Structure 1
Amino acid sequence: MNIQGAAVPESKTRRKNNKPRGGSDAQTYDKPLPKWYKPVMFGLMILGLIWIMVYYISQTVLPIPMIGGWNIVIGFGLAMVGFFMTTGWR
C-alpha cells in the first residue's frame, strides 16, 4: 500500500531467456581459436610499440626515413590491429 492507502500493483518478474542468440551462429563461439591467433595478436602489439620506439630513439631517422611522421601512424596502426584482435580472443 502507498501513503494514501491504495494498493500498488507489483511488477512482473522477468524470465531469463536461456536460448543462445543467433541460432546456428552461436555455435561459432564454441570453436577454438587457431594456434596462430595469439602470437599474431601479441606480435602486432609489440611490433607497433617497437616501431614507435625506434622512430623516437633514432630521432626520426628510422624505420622508414622518407615518410617522416607517418612512422607513428604505422606504429599505432600495427598496435591497434593487435588490440582489436583481443576482442575475439577467448
Structure 2
Amino acid sequence: MPESKVRKEAAEKKVDKRKRERGEKRTKSRARMAMSTRDWVPWVFVPLGLIGVLWLIVFYIAGNRVPVMQDLSNWNYLIGLGLIAASFAFATLWK
C-alpha cells in the first residue's frame, strides 16, 4: 500500500520539535556550566596574597632568626612577591 503524502505543516512541526529538543539539551549544558560558579576564587586569592605579604613582613622583621628564611636569603623576596602575583592571577578568574 502506498504511503500518503506528509503535510507541510506536519513536517515543519517535526523539524521544530527536533530543534526544541536540541535547544533543551544546550540549555541544560549551559545551566550546568552556570552552576559551576567560581565562588571558590576569593577563598583562594585573598589568603594567598595575605600569606605573601606576611612572608615578606616576617622576612624583614625576623629573617635572620628563622632558619628556613635564613637559608633562602634573597629568594624570600621572590617567594613573597610570587605569592602576591599568584593571588592577582587567581583574582582574574573571579566573575
Q: What's the TM-score bracket when you normalise by the shorter of the two chains?
A: 0.5 to 0.7
Q: For CA contacts below 8 A with separation 6 or more, give which structure has more relative contact order.
A: 2
Q: SS at 1:40's partner residue? A: helix
Higher normalized helix content (fraction of residues): 2
- 1:80 aligns with one of 53, 63, 85: 85
The answer to whether the Cα contact below 8 Å between 2:49 and 2:83 also exists between their aligned partners in 1 is yes
Q: Is 1:55–1:61's contact at 8 Å kept on the other side of the alignment? A: no
1:87: Cα distance to partner? Answer: 1.1
Q: Extract structure 1 runs of 4+ deviating beyond 6 A.
A: none
Q: What is the aligned residue count?
A: 63
**Residue 64 of structure 1: SS of its match in structure 2?**
helix
Once the two structures are superposed, the pairs formed by residues 31-70 of structure 1 within 5 Å of their partners are: 31-33=36-38, 35-62=39-66, 64-70=69-75
Q: Which of the pair has more CA radius of gyration?
A: 2
Q: Percent identity?
A: 27
Q: Provide the aligned C-alpha RMSD in A.
A: 2.3
Between 1:37-46 and 1:53-62, the stretch displaced more is: 53-62
Distance 1:80 1:60 in 2: 25
**2:17 maps to what in 1?**
none
Q: d(CA) in 1 for partners of 2:69 and 2:37? A: 38
